[in-house]
């Protein structure tokens, strides 16, 4: 556990999944203030959370968010054959199980819940949303894998056949069902990305049934928007992400504050009507 560097607390934990796997999880928390909301990270293929998404977790925690990540089966520090995805459904199940357990903790139940996925993690986010559409308050999709343009892998060696098949089938399924996306979302994509197709991000934006949707294409930028660009470009991308999250979190906060007031007003109206029209007079 990091005791707090630059106002951030970092923690790691291994958990046992319902499928009997040992999965690595990590989280970044604001040190001295209550988090605004929860953000759950879904990393890309052959990546992991604690190193490849450390900057994402740190920046969002500094912006006031509690950020939680998990390494998929066969990725990072989690158990499983390295780089092997026997079932994309199981991968999504593991994320759903962990993320939901965090959301349902007593201190988190009233907090807004956002998903953030990079590359293949964007596909994980969309499948999590499809499973429980009302559960998530929004999503940030960073160069999402809605369709494979060329080689989507950053690993040593060729992908195992089953893994390649699972990834291909998921990308085709997502591309076919873009209209089912209904939650608020922000898509950020490099205009010169040759790994995932920015034109499909535009198609997602145009096709999704979401009423609140934002697309930001960055001309001249490539695939790794949060780590592989010059510092000024990375700062720009994160500024857009934090601004989007802050805007929705403020709205969700106002809504949650209004709900108790609304219930109170309804109760007051009921009691007033009860006095005016006693049951015996009806």
**Domains located in the chain, CATH noted:** 2-281 (3.40.50.1820)
**Pairwise CA distance, residues 22 & 49, whole Å:** 15
- Summarize pLDDT for 102-144 with one digit per residue, the tens: 999 999 999 999 999 999 999 999 999 999 999 999 999 999 9
| pTM score, whole prediction | 0.86
Q: State the maximum Cα–Cα separation within the chain, in Å, rounded to a whole number.
A: 82
Q: Which residue has the higher pLDDT, 198 or 280?
A: 198
Q: What three-state secondary structure class fits 28?
A: strand
DSSP state of 180: G
**What's the Cα-to-Cα distance from 187 to each of 32, 46, 108, 180, 231, rounded to whole Å?**
31, 22, 26, 16, 20
Per the CB < 8 A criterion, the answer to whether 90 and 124 are in contact is no
Model pLDDT for residues 242-270, shown as the tens digit of each residue? 999 999 998 776 555 444 444 444 444 44
Of the listed ranges 43-47, 184-188, 231-235, 253-257, the least confidently predicted one is 253-257
pLDDT tens digit string along 69-106?
999 999 999 999 998 999 999 999 999 999 999 999 99
Q: Grade residue 155 by pLDDT with cuts at 50, 70 and 90.
A: very low
For residues 94 and 81, give the distance between their C-alpha atoms in angstroms, rounded to a whole number: 16
- The mean predicted confidence, pLDDT, of the chain is 87
Structure tokens at 8: 């951030």
């Amino acid at each position: 556990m990091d005791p707090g560097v630059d106002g951030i607390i970092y923690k790691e934990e291994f958990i046992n999944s319902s499928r009997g796997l040992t999965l690595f999880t990590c989280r970044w928390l604001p040190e001295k203030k209550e988090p605004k909301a929860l953000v759950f990270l879904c990393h890309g293929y052959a990546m992991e959370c604690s190193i490849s998404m450390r900057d994402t977790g740190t920046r969002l925690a500094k912006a006031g968010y509690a950020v939680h990540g998990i390494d998929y089966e066969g990725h990072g520090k989690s158990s499983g054959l390295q780089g092997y995805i026997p079932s994309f459904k199981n991968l999504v199940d593991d994320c759903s199980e962990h993320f939901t357990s965090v959301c349902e903790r007593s201190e988190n139940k009233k907090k807004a819940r956002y998903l953030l996925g990079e590359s293949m993690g964007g596909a994980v986010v969309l499948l999590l949303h499809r499973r429980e559409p009302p559960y998530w308050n929004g999503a940030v999709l960073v160069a999402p894998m809605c369709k494979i343009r060329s080689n989507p892998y950053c690993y040593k060696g060729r992908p195992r056949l089953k893994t390649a098949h699972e990834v291909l089938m998921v990308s085709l399924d997502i591309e076919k069902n873009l209209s089912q996306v209904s939650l608020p979302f922000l898509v950020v994509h490099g205009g010169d990305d040759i790994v995932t197709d920015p034109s499909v991000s535009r198609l997602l934006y145009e096709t999704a049934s979401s009423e609140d949707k934002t697309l930001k294409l960055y001309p001249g930028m490539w695939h790794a928007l949060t780590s592989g660009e010059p510092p000024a470009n990375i700062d720009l991308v994160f500024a857009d992400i934090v601004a989007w999250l802050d805007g929705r979190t403020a709205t969700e906060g106002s809504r949650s504050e209004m709900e108790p007031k609304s219930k109170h007003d309804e109760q007051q109206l009921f009691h007033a009507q009860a006095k005016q029209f006693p049951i015996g007079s009806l």
